[in-house]
Amino acid sequence: MFLMIVQSFIKLFVFLWAHARLLLTLLVCLTIMIGLLPVATLWLSKEMINEVAKIIQLQVGDYRYAFFLLSLQFLIAMATSVLLNIQQYLNGKLENVLELAAQSLVLQKVESVPLFYFDIPDFYNHLERVHLNVGTRFLSPFTILLEIVRASITIFSFLLFLLTVHWSLVILSLIAAIPVFFVQIRFGSINYWLRYGLTPLIRDIQYTSFLLKDRQSAKEIRLFGLGQMLLKRWSTSMTHQFTETLKVLRKQQATEVGLDGFTALLYFGTAGIIIWLIRTTSMQIGEFVAIGQAVQGTQGLTNQLSNQSAKIFGEILYINDFFNFIEYEHPEKDASDEGSALFPAPLQQGIFIKGLSFTYVNTTNPVLRDIHLHIRPGEKIAIVGENGSGKSTLVKCVMGLYPISQGDISFDGLSISQIKPDDLRKNMTVIFQDFIKYAYTLQENIGFGDAERINDLKWMQEIAATSGVDQIVSKLPDGYQTYLSRYLQEGTDLSGGQWQKIALARALFRNSDIVILDEPTAALDPMTELSVYQLVRNLTENKTTLFVSHRMAAAKMADRIIVMKDGQLVESGTHDELISLNKEYAQMYHAQAQWYATPVESR
Ligand SMILES: Nc1ncnc2c1ncn2[C@@H]1O[C@H](COP(=O)(O)OP(=O)(O)OP(=O)(O)O)[C@@H](O)[C@H]1O
């Protein structure tokens, strides 16, 4: 634990130093100055009271000296205010700098992790814990530490002053801090673990609240009348979260009352000693007031110091959690070292899948089993099979989205593990079943297919013309600059078929030799789907195309059809070959042919 705290502190300071060394230095200097001001004030008020007492009691005394002290007091009060306000401003500035730096670290991490991390709920929980108010959380241990330094300087100077009066005052002032310190450490830790344990519940709450607020889900929630049920789920979880938090808060406040009693007792003891000192020594009124202030100040500050030291413990657990997230590497990622070779474009021999088996992370059953397949350059392959047979998983493996542990996929003999992931993806384009409908402009919706060419409007118009998007553009109020949703700006909503064409244009905007379509037409009616596949076929004349479909009529257009069943490749051939084989494919084809025929026959 101690090692963890030290390591986290070192990481925190390396991080702070890297991003804000000037601010950091300024804040440390300010803190030292602010820390010395109280003892100066104490000394001044002691001098002042003694001088005023002389004037009142003896009618002698130096008025000019009293005014001089008064002016100094005024200057110190002003200096304190100026320094404290500068400190607050610098803190605010530092918080912004840290928020930016730490949030970018989190987002960079999320952007760079392999896709399978998104299959691990713990990864989300961890992300949820670390991504909120990072700037404040990062600043907190540092400001607490500065507070500790400031309080220590003041306490030390007060203690020196008290030591000149009597050693017992020093002891009593310090004793007050011990129980506070341990109590605060205990609750710092309890609160951290409470937050840790509640993260899955908090994510559940946020998800339910997102569903209630989301435009996409608004329709279905109304249609199925889910609103009240979701609200109840949300409020039950919220109540549970509050109950747990309040339980700890109740205990903490009760303990604080006990601590306050203890501090009051100690102050009672100290007051006794001061009275005894007045009786036994020749003490002036200024000293008496200054001792009272110093004792009270030391006790208050030592309590504060204990509080802060304990609080820093809770905060450092967060910092540790943050760096654990940033540095987290799943063992499977270690096993799949990224390749550095360039993709062998254009393909001469094709894609080879040899003995490929695949199991998703944190699961036990293989989803793909011993797949062997050779895809020739320019070949159009349709992948068919029942739900859950592994079609999407197979194409995701070909895209390099998941590391392969058994078997291999190679491109012209170069194993996928040897190819640089970025370069592999540059040479492929894809439309997923659940492609993203970006709430940005049309230009961005198409241009995201190849972000480097996003401003190449000539190329975009060419693609729009071939994919049929030009007909959509002509009806949009701001052409390519029209927002395709009302989520961010006053934009235009499109139909499913129109979105489909835009997704197709996005995929084709990336002019790559391999095109993968993972059932992107599922939302379309069969006739539109067929016309989309026809279009794709024409647009991808010389490209290697892999497409997943449930519609046998679309599969028929492929050069070759492969049939998946329970993670295995069970049939492969042309439509005619598979029909004459009269097995899986033939059954599915006839079942669908029958399905299409029924309404016609019943007319
Ligand atoms: N991210 C994942 N983590 C764990 N299991 C998964 C994941 N994705 C898919 N699976 C499982 O892998 C199996 C194959 O899924 P896959 O999506 O490849 O099938 P599919 O043939 O494309 O299905 P469909 O036709 O319904 O789209 C299914 O049993 C599914 O539950």
CATH superfamily for domain 2-330: ABC transporter type 1, transmembrane domain (1.20.1560.10)
| pLDDT on residue 488 | 76
For 592: left if phi > 0, alpha if psi spans -120 to 50, otherwise beta; the answer is alpha
What the block records as the tokens of 257 is 């009352």
Integer Cα distance of 427 and 346 in angstroms: 9
Ligand 1, pocket-test mutation among 122, 332, 360, most atoms within 8 A of CB: 360
Ligand 1, pocket-test mutation among 391, 549, 566, most atoms within 8 A of CB: 391
Ligand 1 pocket, Cβ-based, cut-off 6 angstroms: 119, 360, 363, 367, 385, 387-393
The number of residues making up the chain comes to 603
Indicate which atom in ligand 1 lies nearest the CA of residue 433. Answer: 27
Distance 268 CA to ligand 1 centre (A): 72
Indicate which atom in ligand 1 lies nearest the CA of residue 519. Answer: 27
537 neighbors 557 (Cβ within 8 angstroms): yes
CA-closest candidate to residue 557, choices 535, 525, 528, 572: 535
As a whole number of Å, the CA-based R_g of the chain is 36
Integer Cα distance of 233 and 235 in angstroms: 6
Local confidence band at 199 (pLDDT 50, 70, 90 cut-offs): confident
Integer Cα distance of 539 and 516 in angstroms: 13
Interval 592-601 mean pLDDT = 58
Integer Cα distance of 110 and 122 in angstroms: 13
Interval 208-229 mean pLDDT = 80
Indicate which atom in ligand 1 lies nearest the CA of residue 550. Answer: 25
Distance 388 CA to ligand 1 centre (A): 5
Contacts of 5 (CB under 8 A, 6+ apart): 313, 316, 320
Indicate which atom in ligand 1 lies nearest the CA of residue 386. Answer: 25
DSSP string, 230-270: HHHHHHHHHHHHHHHHHHHHHHHHHHHHHHHHHHHHHHHHH
Distance 392 CA to ligand 1 centre (A): 7
Interval 445-453 mean pLDDT = 90
**Share of the chain residues as helix, strand and coil, in percent rounded to the nearest 5:** 70, 10, 20
Indicate which atom in ligand 1 lies nearest the CA of residue 368. Answer: 14
Distance 252 CA to ligand 1 centre (A): 48
Integer Cα distance of 493 and 1 in angstroms: 55
Max Cα–Cα distance, the chain, nearest Å: 125
Interval 269-278 mean pLDDT = 81
| pLDDT on residue 135 | 73
pLDDT tens for 281-315 read 777 777 778 888 887 788 778 777 777 777 787 78
For atom 5 of ligand 1, the residue with the nearest CA is 360
Which secondary structure element, helix H or strand E, spans residue 366, and what is its range? Answer: none
pLDDT at 4 over 50: yes
Integer Cα distance of 120 and 252 in angstroms: 35
| pLDDT on residue 482 | 93
CA-closest candidate to residue 266, choices 385, 150, 174: 174
Integer Cα distance of 293 and 503 in angstroms: 73
Which secondary structure element, helix H or strand E, spans residue 418, and what is its range? Answer: none
**Domain ranges for the chain:** 2-330, 379-398+421-602
DSSP string, 443-506: HHHHHGGGGGGTT-HHHHHHHHHHHTHHHHHHHSTTGGG-BSSSSSSS-----HHHHHHHHHHH
Integer Cα distance of 166 and 143 in angstroms: 33
Distance 568 CA to ligand 1 centre (A): 13
Tell me whether domains 2-330 and 379-398+421-602 share a fold.
no
For residue 399, how many other CB atoms are within 10 A of its CB? Answer: 21
Q: Above pLDDT 90, what percent of the chain?
A: 26
pLDDT tens for 125-150 read 788 777 776 777 788 888 888 888 88
408 neighbors 371 (Cβ within 8 angstroms): no
pLDDT at 278 over 60: yes
The rounded mean pLDDT for the chain is 84
Instruction: List, in sequence order, every residue forming a beta bridge with 514; answer none if it has no partner.
Output: 428, 544
For atom 6 of ligand 1, the residue with the nearest CA is 360
Integer Cα distance of 288 and 49 in angstroms: 10
Ligand 1, pocket-test mutation among 392, 394, 432, most atoms within 8 A of CB: 392
| pLDDT on residue 572 | 93
Distance 362 CA to ligand 1 centre (A): 14
Which phi and psi angles does 399 have, rounded to 5°? -80, -5
Integer Cα distance of 449 and 469 in angstroms: 15
Give the residue with greater pLDDT, 297 vs 238: 238
For atom 31 of ligand 1, the residue with the nearest CA is 388
Q: Which of 160-169, 245-254, 387-396 has the lowest mean pLDDT?
A: 160-169
For atom 16 of ligand 1, the residue with the nearest CA is 390
Indicate if the alpha-carbon torsion angle 68, 70, 73, 75 is positive or negative.
negative
Alpha helices in 336-487 (DSSP H): 391-398, 421-426, 442-447, 457-467, 469-475
Integer Cα distance of 285 and 194 in angstroms: 51
pLDDT tens for 375-429 read 999 999 999 999 899 999 999 999 988 888 899 999 999 999 899 888 898 899 9
Interval 443-457 mean pLDDT = 91
CATH 3.50.50.60 fits 379-398+421-602, yes or no: no
Indicate which atom in ligand 1 lies nearest the CA of residue 363. Answer: 4
Distance 390 CA to ligand 1 centre (A): 6
What the block records as the tokens of 584 is 């899986």
pLDDT tens for 452-479 read 899 999 999 999 988 889 989 999 999 9
